[in-house]
Amino acid sequence: MIHIEKVMNKHDLNAFISFPSSLYRADPCWIPPLFLERAEHLSEKNPGSEHIKWQAWVAKKEGVVVGRITAQVDSLHRQLYGEDTGHFGMIDAIDDPEVFSALFTTAEAWLKSSGARKISGPFSLNINQESGLLIEGFDTPPCALMPHGKPYYGLNIERQGYTKGIDLLAYWMRRTDLSFSPSLTRLMDQVRKKVTIRCIDRKRFTEEMQILREIFNSGWQHNWGFVPFTEHEFATMGEQLKFLVPDDMIYIAEIDSTPCAFIVGMPNINEAIADLNGRLFPFGWAKLLWRLKVSGIRTARVPLMGVRQEYQFSRIGPVIALLLIEALRDPFAKHQIDALEMSWILESNTGMRTILERIGGVPYKHYRLYEKQL
């Protein structure tokens, strides 16, 4: 008998957050997220809670947790796509079709009661946070703020009537493999005369974060499932980036002194927390600080990049993206970053995919977003 229990209190939430660590215990690629970070993410401290209403459940068999799921309604998403949208996320479970069925039946009933007739996911908790179900690339650890998964998840989700919405790709490249062909170099040199690439100004960090937000919302507004970042969300992200990212790994491109594009290269914190088992106390925080500030991290992720809409279909738009990627090469060498992940990239974004593959990027992880009509 499978029992579905609603997460109602701190004890329930602890069980919800802890479950993946037991499920993935034998998986050498699993990296337990920091428990404190997950608890804050699933609390009112998450600025997304201002527009996301959510509920979580765990599935139990003989008193033992064997699965979990969330359902959520995002008011910003509904403003753009209709009042009948809803989402699921944070799905983890043992390989048992009955467990998946019980979890999705419960989540869908809650979404129906909230007026949802179209469901998409998985999101944790919306598309600007962890997104997608891993369907290829189980043999390598996830980078920071990217999901992991089990190979049997996809089939079990599809058994619940879900079909592909769109796929997301993660590209991997070694710093020493990053190269620009003579033809690309000529294009970059031509555009370089018109574009200024500068580091973020830490003295105006709050203002700079809002510039990045405006560019991101402009550049991504026509993408699948787009939901704009709020000022509060980007300001909160900025506080995290201020701690994690050196100044010379955030760049803004300007044309005639007007910001038009940006890129963020973030040290892969998963590399630093891999052996902490999700705990910062009593000594995990010291190890984390040491690895971030002293011993160094050898991999990075580009989680944020954007080009204003008006430049995306112009001749110089793709070249601006190349100039921003080029700008990270020397700082990565300075900070001894050997390799980076560019993620995620929509499968339909052929322009960016072509750019990455021409300069040495290889698609190595594949994620899927699912849809279902209720």
Residues 103 and 163 in one domain: yes
Residues 157, 181, single domain; the answer is: no
Q: CA 164 → CA 55, 67, 119, 128, 371, distances in Å? A: 24, 22, 12, 19, 6
Query: Do the domain assignments include residue 371?
Result: no
Is residue 373 in a domain? no
User: What type of residue sits at position 4?
Assistant: I
Domain boundary among 111, 142, 167: 167
CB-CB contact of 266 with 138 (8 Å): no
Residue 339 lies in a domain: yes
Let me know if residue 101 belongs to a domain: yes
CB 124 within 8 A of CB 89: yes
Residues 137-194: pLDDT tens digits?
999 999 999 999 999 999 999 999 999 999 999 999 999 999 999 999 999 999 999 9
Same domain, 264 and 345: yes
Q: What pLDDT does residue 276 have?
A: 85
- pLDDT for residue 277: 86
- Shared domain check, 192 and 141: no
What is residue 323's predicted lDDT score, i.e. its pLDDT?
97
Structural domain including 269 reads 173-366
Cβ neighbours for 289, distance < 8 A, ≥ 6 positions apart? none
Question: Assign residue 341 a region: left if phi > 0, alpha if psi is -120 to 50, beta otherwise?
Answer: beta
**Residue 222 sits in the same domain as residue 341:** yes
Separation of alpha carbons 282 and 354, rounded Å: 46
H or E segment to which residue 107 belongs: helix 97-113
Q: Nearest 5°: phi and psi at 249?
A: -120, 15
What are the tokens at 70? 């969330």
For residue 286, the model assigns a pLDDT of 65
Q: Is residue 36 part of a domain?
A: yes
Do 49 and 122 sit in the same domain of this protein? yes
In angstroms, the CA 20 to CA 281 distance is 20
CATH number at residue 305: 3.40.630.30
What does the pLDDT read at residue 284? 62
The predicted structure's pLDDT at residue 243? 84
What average pLDDT does this structure show over 346-360?
A: 94
pLDDT, position 49: 96
In a domain, 372, yes or no: no
Q: Are residues 220 and 157 in the same domain?
A: no
DSSP for 186-225?
HHHHHHHTTEEEEE--GGGHHHHHHHHHHHHHHHHTTSTT
**Same domain as 151, residue 53:** yes
Of 7-11, 283-287, 328-332, the range with the lowest mean pLDDT is: 283-287
| Per-residue model confidence (pLDDT) at position 46 | 95
Residues 241 and 348 in one domain: yes
Rounded-to-integer distance, Cα 97 and Cα 161, Å: 13
Separation of alpha carbons 218 and 363, rounded Å:
26
Residue 294 has pLDDT above 60, yes or no: no
Say which DSSP state 294 is in: I
* Lowest-pLDDT choice from 146-150, 230-234, 250-254, 282-286: 282-286
Mean pLDDT for the chain? 94
What is the C-alpha separation between 3 and 91, in angstroms, rounded? 16
Residue 103: other Cβ atoms inside 10 A: 27
Res 290: pLDDT: 61
Tell me the whole-structure pTM to 2 decimals. Answer: 0.94
What is the predicted pLDDT for the residue at 289?
Answer: 67
What letter does residue 48 receive in the DSSP assignment? G
pLDDT at 313: 83
pLDDT band at 296 (very low <50, low <70, confident <90, very high): confident
pLDDT attached to residue 73: 98
pLDDT at 282 over 60: no
Final residue before a domain boundary, out of 119, 139, 167: 167
* Claim to verify: residue 184 and residue 326 sit in the same structural domain: yes
**Cα dist from 237 to 37, 229, 233, 255, 266, whole Å:** 13, 10, 6, 26, 12
Would you state the pLDDT for residue 222? 94
Per residue in 303-315, pLDDT (tens digit) is: 999 999 999 888 8
Among residues of the chain, what percentage have pLDDT more than 90? 88
Residues 208 and 107 in one domain: no
Task: Give yes or no: residues 68 and 132 share one domain.
Answer: yes
pLDDT classification of 281: cutoffs 50, 70, 90: low
67 part of a folded domain: yes
pLDDT digits (tens, 9 = 90+) for 58-100: 999 999 999 999 999 999 999 999 999 999 999 999 999 999 9
In the prediction, which pLDDT does 242 show?
A: 87
User: How many domains, the chain?
Assistant: 2
Measure the CA–CA gap between 128 and 230, rounded to whole angstroms.
Answer: 11
Q: Which of 149, 167, 185 is the last residue of a domain?
A: 167
Partners of 252 in beta bridges: 198, 262
User: Predicted confidence band at 5 (pLDDT cuts at 50, 70, 90)?
Assistant: very high
State mean pLDDT over 3-31.
97
Please report whether residue 328 resides in a domain.
yes
Read off the pLDDT of each residue in 42-63 and give the average, rounded to a whole number.
Answer: 97
